[in-house]
Amino acid sequence: MGAEARNEFGMQSPVQMGLTVTNEYASSALADMAHAEPLERYEPRSDELRKLYREEGQAKRRMDARPGLWIAVTIYLLFSATDLLLIPDVALYTIMARFAVGVTALLTLEAQLRRGVATEWIDVTCAAAIIFGYVGWLSPAVTGADKESVSYYMVFGTIFMMSANLFFTFKFSLSIVTSSIILIILYIVNYFVPSALAYKMVFGTFYISCFTFTSYVNWKLNEERYNVFLNALEAKIQHKEATERGQALLSLSRTDPLTGLENRRAIDEKLRDYWSDWQRHGSVFVAILIDVDFFKRFNDYYGHQEGDRCLILVANALAEMIKQHNGSIGRYGGEEFIVLARMEKREQVAGLAEAIRSTVENLALPHQQRRDGTSVVTVSVGAAFTRPQTGAKLEKIIHEADRALYLAKAGGRNCTWLFDPNDPQSSDESENIAALLKIAIGQDLVSLVYQPIQNVASGRVEAVEALMRLKMLDGTSVPPSLFIPVAERTGAVLELGRWAIRTVCTELLADDHVRVVSVNVSPIQLKTPGFAASVATILSETGVAGSRLALEITEGLEMEMHSDILRCISDLKLLGVRVWLDDFGTGFAGLSWLRLIDFDTVKIDRSFLHDCGTPRGKAMLQDIIALVRNRGHKILVEGVETDEQLALIRDFDIDKIQGFHVGRPAPAANFRTKPATYKRTLSIVKSA
C-alpha cells in the first residue's frame, strides 16, 4: 500500500503490521501447499532409534511375560511324566523341584506385575526361572541309579537353552547370558556323568551347536524385530505426515485466505448441521448477515490493501465477540459476513445483532468518504431465526436474513433489522409481490398515473410526473411504498423502469399532449451498464426529443457517487434528457450532488414546506431555497396543498410547484390535449 493509506491512518501499529503478514501468509497458503517441497523430516540418530526401540520393546515384553511364563511353567510341569518313565527312582524329587521352581517363579512374576516393577526385572525373573528350573530338575536327576538313562535324559537340557534364546523375547545380551549359563552347566554335568568318551564328544558338540544355532537365530530375530520396528516407525511417520497434510489442506479448503474465518463452503456445511438439528430436535438458531457499509467507496479511496486490512480487523473483532455467544462466523463473500448461533428468544437475537453493529463501530476505523454524516467504518446487520413458519427449505432462513439486511441498508445503514413475518416489507407478502412483478407488464397489472407540475409565474401546467401503480390479479391495489422496495431488491425495477419510460413517451410525449414528463429512476438503474443507451433507443423509436423527458434522481443513502452513476448521468444529459434532483434535503449527499451535477431542477421535499408553520421551519426553507438558487438551479417545491402554502411559495419566488392544490395523480387520458388548452386541463385535474 502506498503512502496514501499511511497518510490517512498514520503509522501502522504492530497489530496492523501483524495483520498484513497474516494476510499475505494466508493468501499464499494454498499455493505454497500445492508447490511445497516434501516436509523436512527429523532424522533421529541410531542410538536414539535403539533407545526408542527398547522403550517400545519393554511394553511388548511386559505384555508377553505373563502368558509366556505361565505356558513355560505348564510345559515344565508336564515333563514330570518323563521323569516317572526315565528316572523313576528320583522322579518324586524332580517333580517336587519342578513344582517348587514353577510356583515360585509365577508368584514372583505376579507380585512384580502388581507392584509395577521395571520390565528389566521381569525379564530377570523369567531368565532366573529358566536357570533355576534347569538346575532344580537336574540336581536330583543326576543322582538316579540308572546312569545311562540319566546321561541321555540330560539332552533335554538343551530345551532350556532354546527357551532362553527363542521362547522369551529377552534382550539379546540377557538371552546370551542365560543360555551360556545353561551351556556351562551342561558341560559340567556331561564331564562328571559316567559315560564313554565318544558320548561326551558327541553330546558336547551337540550342546555347542545348539547354543550357536539358537543364539544366531535369536540375534537374527532381534535384528528382524528392529527392522520391523523401523518400518512401522516409518509408516507411522508417513501416516502422520499424510494426516497432517490432509488436515492442513482440509483446513485451507474451509478457510477464507484473507480473514482466516470459515469460508462459504464451511459455513454452508455448518448451516446444514444447524438446520438438521432444528428439523430433528427443534434446536432453534439464528442466521445473521453482516455487510460493511460503503465498502466499495472505502476500497476506491484508500486502496485494496487498506480494504483488506479493514476486513481483517472487522473479522477479528467479530470473531472474538461471537466466541462469547458460542456461535460461528464466516466470510460469506466480498464484504459480507455471516453468523450462526443457537438462540431461542427474539430479545437475544436483537441483542447479538446490536452487539455486532456496535463492535464494528467501536473499532473507529476512519472512513471519510461516506457522505452520510458518519466518518468511521460501520456495518448493516440483518437477522432471521427459525420458527414454525420458516418451512422445510434451508435457503429460506438465509433469504429472510438477506431481506432483513436489505431493509437495514435501506433504513440508513449502521443499524440492525430483525426479520419480522408480520412486517409487510419483510413478510411473505413481499415474496408474493416479487412474483407479481415478474408478470406485471405482461398481464397489464402495472400502469402509470400523472401528477401535474405548475409553473408558478404563469399558472400553467408545465410538466407532469409519472407515478407507477400496481394491482393484484384480483384488482386490489398495491401501495408504491410496498412494491417499489421489492422491485429494487429483486431487480425488477430495471424492466419496470424501461417500460415506464417507453410508456410516457407513447402515451403523452409522442403526440405532444404535454411538454415534459418526469420519471423517477432508481440508483440501481443508473448503476446498470447500458441504461443511458436503452433510454436513447426508446427516444429514437418513439420519435421523442430528449429534452421532453426528465429523470428524477432521489437524494437518498443509496446514491453513492461513484464513476458509473456520474458517467450515466453525463450520457443522459448528452441526449438532452433533463435530470432533476428529487426530495432534496432528506438525505446527506445533496450538497455533493449539487456540486458535481448541473441539475435542471431541484425538488425540495414537502416536509420543509409543511414545517413553515413555525418561524424556525420557515427560516429553514428559506435557507434551502437560497442555497439551491445560488447554484443556479430551478426550484420545485413539493406538497403544496393549501392557498396559504401557495401564497408563501409566491413570496419565495419559487419556479414550480407540485401537490394536491395543483392536481392529484390522474390517468394519461386526462392530459391528452393540445398545449393551448393546458389551463383548462389544469382545472379538470384539480377537480378530479
pLDDT tens per residue, range 628-647: 888 888 999 999 999 999 99
Domain end point (choices 406, 423, 440): 423
- Among 295-299, 410-414, 459-463, 610-614, which is the least confidently predicted range? 410-414
Domain end point (choices 178, 210, 231): 231
- Among 206-210, 349-353, 380-384, which is the least confidently predicted range? 206-210
| Residue 12 maps to a domain | no
- pLDDT of 545 > 70? The answer is yes
- 467 and 369 belong to one structural domain: no
- 209 and 100 belong to one structural domain: yes
Full residue range of the structural domain in which residue 98 is found? 46-231
Written as nine digits, the cell of 330 is 464466516
| Residue 24 maps to a domain | no
- Among 20-34, 217-231, 466-480, 521-535, which is the least confidently predicted range? 20-34
- pLDDT of 580 > 90? The answer is yes
Written as nine digits, the cell of 301 is 479511496
Half-sphere exposure of 595 (CA within 13 A, CB side): 5
| Residue 608 maps to a domain | yes
Give the pLDDT confidence score for residue 40 in this predicted structure.
46
| Residue 89 maps to a domain | yes
Chain center to CA of 258: 12
- 222 and 294 belong to one structural domain: no
- 66 and 86 belong to one structural domain: yes
Residue 433 in 3-state DSSP?
A: helix
Q: 343 with 286: CB under 8 angstroms?
A: yes
Query: Is pLDDT larger for residue 277 or for residue 29?
Result: 277
Give the pLDDT confidence score for residue 7 in this predicted structure.
37
- 268 and 214 belong to one structural domain: no
C-alpha distances out from residue 614 to 11, 344, 606, 620, 628, Å: 51, 48, 15, 10, 22
Q: 416 with 354: CB under 8 angstroms?
A: yes
- 384 and 466 belong to one structural domain: no
Average pLDDT, the chain: 81
CATH of the domain at 571: 3.20.20.450
- pLDDT of 678 > 80? The answer is no
Query: Is pLDDT larger for residue 36 or for residue 436?
Result: 436
Closest alpha carbon to 582 in 614, 558, 616: 558
Phi, psi of 528 (to 5 degrees): -75, 125
Place 27 in a pLDDT band, splitting at 50, 70 and 90.
very low
| Residue 199 maps to a domain | yes
Phi, psi of 186 (to 5 degrees): -60, -45
pLDDT tens per residue, range 337-377: 999 999 888 888 999 999 999 999 999 999 987 766 788 99
pLDDT tens per residue, range 170-205: 778 888 888 888 888 888 877 777 767 777 787 778
- 474 and 416 belong to one structural domain: no
Closest alpha carbon to 151 in 88, 205, 199: 199
- 419 and 437 belong to one structural domain: no
- 77 and 128 belong to one structural domain: yes
Q: For residues 187 and 190, what is the distance between their CA atoms, to the nearest angstrom? A: 5
Query: Is pLDDT larger for residue 202 or for residue 562?
Result: 202
Q: 410 with 397: CB under 8 angstroms?
A: no
Give the pLDDT confidence score for residue 658 in this predicted structure.
94
Listing DSSP states for 614-645 in one string gives SHHHHHHHHHHHHHHHHTT-EEEEE---SHHH
To which H or E segment does residue 24 belong?
helix 14-35
Give the pLDDT confidence score for residue 8 in this predicted structure.
36
- 517 and 593 belong to one structural domain: yes
- 463 and 395 belong to one structural domain: no
Domain end point (choices 396, 423, 450): 423
Place 424 in a pLDDT band, splitting at 50, 70 and 90.
low
Indicate the number of domains in the chain.
3
| Residue 666 maps to a domain | yes
Chain center to CA of 291: 14
Q: 100 with 160: CB under 8 angstroms?
A: no
| Residue 682 maps to a domain | no
pLDDT tens per residue, range 211-246: 888 888 878 887 887 788 788 778 888 888 877 777
Give the pLDDT confidence score for residue 319 in this predicted structure.
93
Average pLDDT over residues 526-546: 93
% pLDDT > 70, the chain: 84
Average pLDDT over residues 442-449: 93
CATH of the domain at 326: 3.30.70.270
Residue 658 in 3-state DSSP?
A: strand
| Residue 112 maps to a domain | yes
- 88 and 192 belong to one structural domain: yes
- pLDDT of 26 > 50? The answer is no
Give the pLDDT confidence score for residue 85 in this predicted structure.
85
Alpha helix (H) ranges present in 116-196? 119-141, 147-153, 157-162, 172-192
Give the pLDDT confidence score for residue 532 in this predicted structure.
94
Residues whose CB falls within 8 Å of the CB of residue 165, separated by 6 or more in sequence, listed in order: 175, 179, 214, 215, 217, 218
Q: 673 with 681: CB under 8 angstroms?
A: yes
- pLDDT of 22 > 80? The answer is no
